[in-house]
A and B are shown apart, each in its own frame.
Chain A
Amino acid sequence: MHGRPRKQPSLKEDNASIEKAAKLRSLQSLVLHNHQNKIYDKEALEVSSKLLELNPELYTAWNYRKLAVEHALLSEENSDTIRAILDEELKVVENALRRNFKSYGAWEHRKWVLRKEYSSVDQELRLLDQFQKADSRNFHAWNYRRFVAKLKNLPAEEELKYTTSMIESNFSNYSAWHNRSVILSHLLKENPQGLDSKHNVLKEEYDLVHQALFTDPDDQSGWFYHLWLLAQTAAPDAPSLISFWPAHGSDLVVSSNGSLPLILYFDQVVEGKAQAWMTYLKFPELGNNSSEVYTIEVSLGQVNGIISSSGSSLSLPLRFTFTTRVQSTPSEHSEGIVTMKMLSWKDEEFCRNEEVLQYFNPCILPSDLQRINKDCQQTTLKWKLETFTHEIALFRDLLLEMNWQLSCKLLKIGMLTLARLLLAHDALMLHNTTSVSQKANCKEILELLQDLMKLDPTHSRFYKDMLSIVLMEQMVSNRNSLEGYCWYYGTSTSSLTQNIICLRLNNLSLSRIGSFEHLLWVQMIDLRGNELRSIEGLEVLQRLTCLNLSHNNLISFTALAPLRLLSSLKVLDISHNEIGAHSIDTTRYLCSSLLSQSAGDGCNLDEYAINNVDIAKYWEAVLVFKGLQLTQLDVVGNAVSDDDKFSLLLVKILPKLKWLDGNAVY
């Protein structure tokens, strides 16, 4: 029972309870009897109101009263009488609510009466005022308030004022802050009186939430409201392209009848589901010893479809070109890595070669595409940067001035908010300017997050994930740093053209990966020895051929779902993870699976049936691996691989497999 102390009732209490129970039972039986026999006389109705006062949760009794009212209204045309009938219902509800103001059935009955449009708004607002004063967080009352406001078309400005008065009387009222965000979103959307108005509104909101944050830092209302304001400020108005592959001006070799991915990466989710758009260019089959050169131009205008969730279309048109040489005979220059022999990830297989890095084109956006056009965008950008700069200064001062005198909670939220502001500021700079000082805040962000891990150990892995994302971005988002992680696969003496760049991000204790927009070019990546539980987002690396995920914290095959979209993947190492060792799978639903509706992609497990293997036990592996072209797989060192039969299954699902756990497959 909610909030009731655990104790054995005394004999006296027991008897009283049994007596009360007997009374309740007889009322309940009577009402159910009347309900079944459609008895709606005065006496019967009184029994039901007595019952509902005693047990407001009894939904069938509310249904019975609705039927009784409808029955009475059927033969009634006098509006005073109708009003009297409905007022009686409001009274029954009020009594029920005084017993239990969290009763869904009672509130709903009131809405049902109100919808008949005979009742006065004032009475409802008075009642609400009582309930909301008694419990300012009662979400039933707040829901009912929104219902009345909508039904009676109360002006949004008035409702906004109501939240202001609630907040000013007590900052610690998450429900009021929430309702404020709802009303403001609505007002900003419906009535945008120019940019200035939005900027002014948000400025006032920042001022209000600062008061809340600094007056009562233990209260979380301000935390979430501030983050919402930050998101409102940072939100890009129109989508823009931040990265793409193939790079502008690149020259690629494709084999006859081959294909090439074309990837567009936007700064936000555009129409539909994803930030990245991917497609394949298919090339024709050529006769022997011939070759063809194609120049391909990609032109993005304000095309239908590239629309943000807020409805804006692409900010500026963009055009890029590259050439492809299609050759009939496969050569080592061709796209994709030819894996004739088993690939080894040992350190001695890699070398640094400065000479070749000159030709390395990681497809970071050419600077002439990074310009900001249009005056209105300039104004907005200026406002965004000013707002962030102001907030950053405010939070820096707060932390500097008071530092360890602050309560732990204020310190925590102050540091986290500052880190978020700095991140938002840097992201804005990265995509909109060519300034060199764009990463000036990175060190400060990392320090804040490291301190937070110590300060708030309960959520340390939340900060750790954030830290990993920041670290990764620092490593790969500019060419200088990126080159430090790029190695050649092959020895320094072998012919360079045969070799391939491997992005080696091993043993960095990353718990999460990101910044994929900088990595669209990657064909080989070594992520072994990190703390990854997920590879979400990796699916945009369409050129990926070799992937090492060994010695991480992956717990299931469903965590590998992004691999299903990597049609070039040949070599995969997932050895020494925790696959099969856990009873609860945290990516079971992030993977479109047999358990969810999108399962309709026709996974026929029986196709892979093998004697004596319980295929249902391994359906996740089948789901992820079927259709992949893997030639080399390492899976040893996971709980799942202890079962010998599992190897048989893998060989069956992956017909192109040549090496499994270092052994040749026959």
Chain B
Amino acid sequence: MMGDLEVEKHVQFVLSVEKKKDDFESVAMEHIRINGAYWGLTTLDLLGKLGVVDQDEVISWIMKCQDESGGFGGNIGHDPHIMYTLSAVQVLALYDKLDVLDIDKVSSYVSGLQNEDGSFSGDIWGEIDTRFSYIAICCLSILGRLEKLNVQKAVAYIVSCKNMDGGFGCTPGGESHSGQIFCCVAALAITGSLHHIDKDLLGWWLCERQVKSGGLNGRPEKLPDVCYSWWVLSSLIIIDRVHWIDKEKLAAFILNCQDKENGGISDRPEDAVDVFHTFFGVAGLSLLEYPGVKAIDPAYALPVDVVDRIFIGRR
């Protein structure tokens, strides 16, 4: 069952997703194609195969998704939203092409979404969620414009979403969820505010996400899912508690979710694969220091060499 990482097959799978356009799932996902681009291209980069895609084509398409407000939509013709803006910035960062952006314009769009209480809306319609706090902080940090935000208030809002179990929810009072915890922990990491976290309490909750099969779930009493190999694992790494889980068992679980025939990784063994889980599976293996996979940064969700290029290069 378990075996090595099928690098070549996963590369082919990612490329095939990009070409597949006519089935129902592909059409239904068209509005988040820019997320798909980030998942797929980062997967390729982690596997050392970013070169197989035509860079100019990707960048010119990405730039067509930008709205006059400065924000990006999930695809050409779709409304701008902070989620797709981050994906656009991340893809450009992968290619070391942030200079094609009007950085002030993009960062004004993002900082314009901060509310009086420090929280962030996803777009002009005002949905508030700590996911958007992470996105804003991550995005502006990559763009070198964090000073455009009221960081102190942004941090205070995230802290107000902390729960009895040490985790974080979408808004104050919201239940802890591993995806949400990643967003809040990573945002606190980027802003140098990790002292707000009770690392032992949160670490225990996170390490108890590992179930018998070795996989991680996102909340108590839920099924394991490969995507939590990213959300839980990156959070555990940021707070230095990753040794509290069994890493070998987790790696085995991820490898078991590969489609060894046609490439791609699924949420659980024998389920249908998709590019989202393929990315989180490969990223999880990267965090587990799996040989042959490039290291990924647990807070920016970009390869470490890309992050170092941005931040150490900018010093």
Q: Do A and B come from one complex?
A: yes
**A: which residues have CB within 8 A of B?**
1-7, 14, 17-18, 20-22, 24-25, 28, 32, 36, 55, 57-60, 63, 66, 104, 108, 111-112, 137, 139, 142-143, 146, 172, 174-175, 178-179, 181-182, 185, 219-221, 223-225, 227-228, 273-274, 457-459, 461-462, 465, 533-534, 536, 582-584, 586-590, 592, 594-599, 603-606, 616, 619
Take A461-B244, A583-B289 as given contacts and tell me if A178 and B175 are in contact as well, using a CB distance cutoff of 8 Å.
yes
A592 and B192 within 8 A (CB): yes
Contact of A142 among B151, B175, B189, B190 (CB under 8 A): B175
A1 and B240 within 8 A (CB): no
B270 and A583 within 8 A (CB): no
Bound CA span A240–B238, Å: 31
Bound CA span A598–B28, Å: 42
B79 and A228 within 8 A (CB): no
B125 and A220 within 8 A (CB): no
Take A60-B79, A175-B175 as given contacts and tell me if A181 and B220 are in contact as well, using a CB distance cutoff of 8 Å.
no
Q: Mark B247-291, 1 if CB is under 8 A from A, else 0.
A: 001000000000100000011101111100000000000111100
Take A6-B259, A146-B174 as given contacts and tell me if A462 and B207 are in contact as well, using a CB distance cutoff of 8 Å.
yes
B219 at the interface (CB under 8 A from A): yes
A534 and B307 within 8 A (CB): no
A60 and B73 within 8 A (CB): yes
Question: Given A143-B169, A178-B163, 13 more contacts at CB 8 Å?
Answer: A6-B270, A14-B23, A24-B27, A25-B27, A59-B79, A137-B219, A175-B175, A178-B164, A178-B176, A461-B244, A586-B243, A589-B194, A598-B192
Contact of B26 among A3, A21, A586, A592 (CB under 8 A): A21
- Whole-angstrom distance between the Cβ of B218 and the nearest chain A Cβ: 10
Q: Looking at A111, A465, A596, A599, which has the most chain B CB atoms within 10 Å of its CB? A: A596
Bound CA span A598–B221, Å: 38
Take A181-B164, A592-B192 as given contacts and tell me if A21 and B289 are in contact as well, using a CB distance cutoff of 8 Å.
no
Closest to A228 in B: B164
B31 and A458 within 8 A (CB): no
A584 and B289 within 8 A (CB): yes
B295 at the interface (CB under 8 A from A): yes
A21 and B23 within 8 A (CB): yes
Task: List A contacts of B225 (CB < 8 A).
Answer: 2
Closest to A55 in B: B28
Task: List B contacts of A178 (CB < 8 A).
Answer: 163-165, 175-176
List 23 A-B residue pairs with CB atoms under 8 Å apart, sorted by A's residue number: A3-B268, A18-B22, A24-B28, A59-B81, A60-B78, A63-B79, A108-B127, A139-B219, A143-B174, A143-B175, A146-B174, A179-B173, A182-B173, A221-B221, A462-B207, A582-B289, A583-B295, A588-B298, A595-B297, A597-B191, A598-B192, A604-B315, A605-B312
A185 and B312 within 8 A (CB): no
From DSSP, what is the main secondary structure of chain B's interface residues? Answer: loop
Contact of A139 among B175, B195, B307 (CB under 8 A): B175
Q: How many residues of B contact A (CB 8 A)?
A: 88
- Whole-angstrom distance between the Cβ of A22 and the nearest chain B Cβ: 8
Bound CA span A227–B200, Å: 12
Take A178-B164, A178-B175 as given contacts and tell me if A458 and B210 are in contact as well, using a CB distance cutoff of 8 Å.
yes
A181 and B271 within 8 A (CB): no
Interface residues of B in 158-199 (CB under 8 A from A): 163-165, 169-171, 173-177, 189-192, 194-195
Q: Looking at B28, B203, B223, which has the most chain A CB atoms within 10 Å of its CB? A: B28
Take A146-B173, A597-B192 as given contacts and tell me if A1 and B287 are in contact as well, using a CB distance cutoff of 8 Å.
no
Take A59-B31, A59-B79 as given contacts and tell me if A458 and B240 are in contact as well, using a CB distance cutoff of 8 Å.
no
A4 and B208 within 8 A (CB): no
- Whole-angstrom distance between the Cβ of A145 and the nearest chain B Cβ: 10
Take A143-B170, A178-B176 as given contacts and tell me if A594 and B81 are in contact as well, using a CB distance cutoff of 8 Å.
no
A590 and B312 within 8 A (CB): no
B77 at the interface (CB under 8 A from A): yes
- Whole-angstrom distance between the Cβ of A411 and the nearest chain B Cβ: 15
Take A220-B208, A590-B239, A597-B151 as given contacts and tell me if A139 and B174 are in contact as well, using a CB distance cutoff of 8 Å.
yes
- Whole-angstrom distance between the Cβ of B206 and the nearest chain A Cβ: 10
Bound CA span A461–B270, Å: 31
Task: List A contacts of B177 (CB < 8 A).
Answer: 139
A179 and B266 within 8 A (CB): no
Contact of B24 among A24, A32, A139 (CB under 8 A): A24
Contact of B295 among A112, A143, A584 (CB under 8 A): A584
Task: List A contacts of B304 (CB < 8 A).
Answer: 583
Bound CA span A60–B65, Å: 13
Task: List A contacts of B245 (CB < 8 A).
Answer: 458-459
A174 and B270 within 8 A (CB): no
Bound CA span A20–B27, Å: 10
- Whole-angstrom distance between the Cβ of B113 and the nearest chain A Cβ: 15
Closest to B190 in A: A596
> Which 5 residue pairs across A and B have the least CB separation, nearest first?
A598-B192, A589-B189, A583-B295, A220-B220, A181-B164
Contact of B207 among A219, A221, A459 (CB under 8 A): A459
- Whole-angstrom distance between the Cβ of B300 and the nearest chain A Cβ: 8
Bound CA span A370–B295, Å: 51
Bound CA span A2–B257, Å: 12
Closest to B218 in A: A139
- Whole-angstrom distance between the Cβ of A166 and the nearest chain B Cβ: 13
Bound CA span A596–B194, Å: 11
Q: Mark B229-242, 1 if CB is under 8 A from A, else 0.
A: 00000000111101
Bound CA span A55–B299, Å: 31
Task: List A contacts of B259 (CB < 8 A).
Answer: 6
Closest to B313 in A: A616
Bound CA span A181–B220, Å: 16
Bound CA span A596–B297, Å: 12
B246 at the interface (CB under 8 A from A): yes
